[in-house]
């Protein structure tokens, strides 16, 4: 199962007291891997300010820059599951939904 976190080095103006997007990805990786050790996860961080090779990455990077999403943006298997300040309960719910399919 793939989890991609989109973000930037610079924090968004409304995220000043929150961890960086990269720190969010590291925290999310630790929490999810501990809760679901039986599910093989791949975690990926994408910097929206870097040139994107992947069309999906470019889509989300552009959408964040166009203010359609807040970052960090968490995408699970192609589905947006959280943005801004991600909530573990919502992410866990989507993981459980997708893992039973």
pLDDT at 100: 81
Q: From CA 94, how far away is CA 76, in angstroms rounded?
A: 8
CATH, residue 13: 3.40.30.30
**Total domain count, the chain:** 1
Dihedral sign of CA atoms 4, 28, 45, 49 in order? positive
Could you report the per-residue pLDDT of 3-54, keeping only the tens digit for each? 999 998 776 666 666 788 889 999 999 999 999 999 999 999 999 988 677 8
pLDDT at 11: 62
Could you report the per-residue pLDDT of 48-79, keeping only the tens digit for each? 988 677 888 999 999 999 999 989 999 999 99
pLDDT at 26: 94
pLDDT at 55: 87
Structure-block tokens of residue 55: 């069309």
Q: Which domain holds residue 39?
A: 2-99
């Amino acid at each position: 199962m793939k989890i991609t976190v989109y973000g930037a080095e610079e924090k968004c103006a409304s995220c000043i007291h929150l961890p960086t997007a990269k720190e969010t990805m590291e925290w999310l990786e630790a929490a999810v891997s501990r809760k679901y050790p039986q599910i093989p996860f791949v975690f990926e961080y994408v910097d929206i300010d870097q040139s994107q090779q992947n069309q999906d990455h470019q889509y989300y990077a552009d959408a964040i820059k166009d203010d359609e999403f807040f970052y960090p943006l968490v995408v699970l298997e192609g589905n947006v599951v959280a943005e801004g300040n991600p909530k573990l309960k919502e992410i866990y719910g989507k993981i459980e939904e997708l893992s039973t399919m």
